[in-house]
Structure 1
Amino acid sequence: MSKRAKIILGIVVVLFVIIVIWLKKKNETSIEVFKTETAFKANIVKKTVATGKVIPLEEIEIKPQITGIIDKIYLLEGTKVKKGDLIATVRVVPNEQSLISAKGRVDNVKIRLKNAEIAYKRNKALYDKGVVSAADFEQIELTFDQAKQDLINAENDYKIIKSGSSGSGGFANTDIRAQISGTILEIPVKEGDQVIQSNNFNAGTTIASIADMSKMIFEGKVDESEVSKLVSGTDIQVSLGAIEEKKFPAKLDFIAPKGTEEGGAVQFTIKATITLDDNYFVRANYSANADIVLEKKDSVLSIKEALLRFDKKTEKPYVEVKVGEGQFEKKELELGVSDGVNIQVLSGITADDELKIWNKAKKDDNNNN
């Protein structure tokens, strides 16, 4: 064999080997295989979570009836009290000008009373002799009685300004007493603090706040996109940050008719009455979350949301249904309620359809490309 023939034969052999290797690799290339799953029946519950806190249904602030200085505090925060129990006392520091004015009124009334008494005694003797008529004497007697009452009133005013109480019975203005039965939540003042009574220009100093801790409510906020789906009277579940292992049943009682803007979103206040458990002590202002059912569907045809895709042009949801080996067909769906994991399918597929599970890209695949 000539040298040229050997070269040609070598080239043919090399080409043959290359073709064989190429065909082998081509035959080894397989169609990408996707796993499938079918739709299923499921109970789908759509919920929302409202964040808020637990507060007493009834809470009042005790304010003094007179301006002065806290003289003595008898009870501590957390103490259970009954209506009328003494919490603290206020020592009056009278205004000198008011005190002098009140003392002057007492002295003036005493002068009028002395003159009225002299006139009464003189005319009484004349009336007994028949010199003064009954009508004239009755008028003089009335003036005398009025002067006596005016003195009593002036002296009471003077005592109230000086000591805070007239001592005529009942509770003194200097006594700070519980207005309802409950638990003292807070005493924001100390002995020696100056306090101001409530008036038209000042709300007054709060000496104590009291609440009935056996009646608690949840107060939270929901977004405007969900408030229209809430119904008053709905049963909800309230979980407390401080009591993680327990959920308290509650009933939605109030949905605010007006929202407030917070952080660019409109929020609506809701309130729900909580059913307490005697085994747990719930404190005021515990942070809490309320699970609220917005919509519920029982035993409906459903799929996992991970199977969904959305058309780039129409933005309509669809899945791919298996029609042959390695072959899938696009099916648009009409969807219903979703719980974030599963979603209701109203139309588009049947329970027997095999739905494509979208494979995730791997790093090795990218490196090989």
Structure 2
Amino acid sequence: MNLSKTFGSGLGGLAISLTTLSLLLAGCADEAPPQQKSHARTVTAATVEAKNVPLYYDSLGKITALQSVNIVSQVDGQIVDIHFEQGSIVKEGDLLYTIYQPPYEAMVTEAKGRLQQSIAALEIAKLEVERSRPLVPQKLVAEQNFEQMEANVIQLEGQVQENTGALEAAQINLNYCSITAPVSGMIGVYQVNKGNVVYASANTQLTSIQQMNPIYVDFIVPITVFPEIQEYYDKADRKLTIEVSPLGSGTMEKKIVRDADMTILGNLVASNTGTINLRATMKNSDYAFWPNQPIAVRIIMTVLQDALVVPKGAVAYGQQGAYAFVIKSDNTVEQRPIEVGQLQADNTMVISKGLNKGERVVVEGQVFLMPGNEVIVASDNPKQNRLPKSTLDGVIEILKKYDKGSPELYKQIEESGQLPLDLIEGLKKHDKLSTKEAAFIEQLEGYGDAGKDKPGQKTSQDASGQTSK
């Protein structure tokens, strides 16, 4: 029999059907199912697995730009053009602003003229020195006059250097009229619009650039945890992996989780908080993270090899600590104390003591469950669903009552823990089902609550004369 049809779709329908089946069989004394000490409870189960899982420490932090640059004008003048879009990505060297240039172009021209004049005067002075040099020994040129000529050359050389510097300064100021991006990154909004006059002395911010790829991850850890982190940091050649995710980014399926490399340890303990600042570097080519954004940080210190894990729901807590219900081979449960480790990203819990690999534990259905209780383990895979022996015995009794079985069929049911494919259809063909048997069949078929009208369904009367479908 296809159990996905027999017991309804999903674990919810299966749990109702199996529990009702157990209750019905336990209460049908007139149909002679064996008496039970307590009816079986429907649960879901999971197997204890061995996996490689991280040993981690969680903290909070924020994103910091690799470089943050405020753009200001270094010359006075009117902004005549803006060459970027607000919030766009710019590259180093891109033209951002143009300051009105003619006054600075005139200064360059003037500086060039003065430089040329001084160069020409220097050349004439040098020629006079060369002409006069052979006349000094002949006393045709006084030695004092010759020394004055040489001093004049030196003076003119200084003037040339001065005018050269003035030309360079004028050219620099002209270049400052074209403001370019000093770094690559995301540029901000206009703080000063086109047409406004800016002054270098006012240090007015025109806009800013945040270099966001790569980007820094800044976070803190308490001094009590720092020695352990430092130990694993040194073992990992001073490079630990950090998992970074935005705060409030939704469910785990939708959460952005990105790896970063922790390469900088803080050098100071904050006296007011007892914490140490750490820093990691992270790639951010899609600009998913922004400066000053609050983040959750998980420091992966090492990977635990073959750690035992179970679903989080398998761990229960009582006055004596954590425990789990272990399902034994006879479908009864044992309450076992356990020691738990860290919760993992896939919602599994590390078990450091108390369970063994391959054991089955109860995940759902622990409420009112007691040690020694018999359980019906429901599974998403119908082939894994097995009814407990007490329930199977009750089914076999009904089959025997209506002569719908054989010793081979009974053996098959007992060995498989499941009902055969044609069982329900065979039982439905009989017209003498009692109220409880009719409800039993409806629950097996997944029709819902017993007693609802169905087209073409037979009716039967119980002892009170009420009609049942």
Structure-1-length-normalised TM-score: 0.52
Residue equivalent to 2:156: 148
CA distance in 2, matches of 1:260, 1:70: 49
Equivalent position to 2:93, from 83, 105, 108: 83
Mark the CA change 1:353 to 1:156 in structure 2 (over 3 Å): closer, same or farther. closer
Residue equivalent to 2:49: 41
Q: Deviations over 1:133-155 (max 9, x none)?
A: 55x44531232234434555666
Q: Deviations over 1:275-315 (max 9, x none)?
A: 63xxx566854847566462544654333444545675xx7
Equivalent position to 1:303, from 303, 310, 313: 310
Residue equivalent to 2:179: 177
Q: Deviations over 1:42-96 (max 9, x none)?
A: 54456647553374x4554444445x34443442343745537473327899xxx
Q: Deviations over 1:25-57 (max 9, x none)?
A: xxxxx86977675651154456647553374x4
Give the letter for the 2:156 counterpart.
K
Equivalent position to 1:52, from 50, 53, 62: 62
Mark the CA change 1:349 to 1:273 in structure 2 (over 3 Å): closer, same or farther. closer
Give the letter for the 1:335 counterpart.
V
CA distance in 1, matches of 2:42, 2:283: 48
Counterpart contact for 1:319–1:330, Cα < 8 Å: yes
Mark the CA change 1:32 to 1:216 in structure 2 (over 3 Å): closer, same or farther. same
Mark the CA change 1:70 to 1:252 in structure 2 (over 3 Å): closer, same or farther. farther
Residue equivalent to 2:215: 217
Gaps of 5+ in 1: 1-29, 94-105, 198-203, 362-369
Gaps of 5+ in 2: 1-36, 104-113, 370-469
Residue equivalent to 2:417: none
Alignment of 1:89-104 (within 5 A): 89=99
Residue equivalent to 2:261: 252
CA distance in 2, matches of 1:335, 1:248: 25
SS in 2 for 1:139: helix
How many corresponding residue pairs?
289
SS in 2 for 1:257: strand
Q: CA deviation at 1:346?
A: 3.1
Counterpart contact for 2:249–2:255, Cα < 8 Å: no
Matched, 1:193 2:193: no
Residue equivalent to 1:201: none
CA distance in 2, matches of 1:166, 1:222: 47
CA distance in 1, matches of 2:354, 2:153: 99
Give the letter for the 2:214 counterpart.
M
Alignment of 1:90-129 (within 5 A): 127=136
Counterpart contact for 1:61–1:206, Cα < 8 Å: yes
CA distance in 2, matches of 1:336, 1:179: 51
CA distance in 1, matches of 2:293, 2:361: 46
Counterpart contact for 1:54–1:216, Cα < 8 Å: no
Q: CA deviation at 1:130?
A: 2.5
Mark the CA change 1:301 to 1:271 in structure 2 (over 3 Å): closer, same or farther. closer
CA distance in 2, matches of 1:62, 1:263: 35
Mark the CA change 1:87 to 1:322 in structure 2 (over 3 Å): closer, same or farther. closer
More strand by share: 1
Equivalent position to 1:335, from 321, 337, 340: 340
Matched, 1:270 2:270: no
Mark the CA change 1:212 to 1:266 in structure 2 (over 3 Å): closer, same or farther. closer
CA distance in 2, matches of 1:329, 1:318: 10
CA distance in 1, matches of 2:148, 2:187: 58
Equivalent position to 1:346, from 322, 344, 352: 352
Counterpart contact for 2:242–2:280, Cα < 8 Å: no
CA distance in 2, matches of 1:65, 1:281: 30
Counterpart contact for 1:45–1:293, Cα < 8 Å: no
CA distance in 2, matches of 1:143, 1:251: 67
Q: CA deviation at 1:342?
A: 2.8
SS in 1 for 2:197: coil
Matched, 1:234 2:241: yes
Q: CA deviation at 1:185?
A: 0.9
Give the letter for the 1:41 counterpart.
E
Residue equivalent to 2:416: none
Q: Deviations over 1:236-259 (max 9, x none)?
A: 466699999795754414344247
CA distance in 1, matches of 2:218, 2:257: 15
Counterpart contact for 1:73–1:89, Cα < 8 Å: yes
Q: CA deviation at 1:359?
A: 1.4
More helix by share: 2
Matched, 1:359 2:367: yes
SS in 1 for 2:93: coil
Mark the CA change 1:337 to 1:284 in structure 2 (over 3 Å): closer, same or farther. closer
Mark the CA change 1:139 to 1:206 in structure 2 (over 3 Å): closer, same or farther. farther
SS in 2 for 1:172: helix
Give the letter for the 2:139 counterpart.
G
Give the letter for the 1:52 counterpart.
K
Structure-2-length-normalised TM-score: 0.43
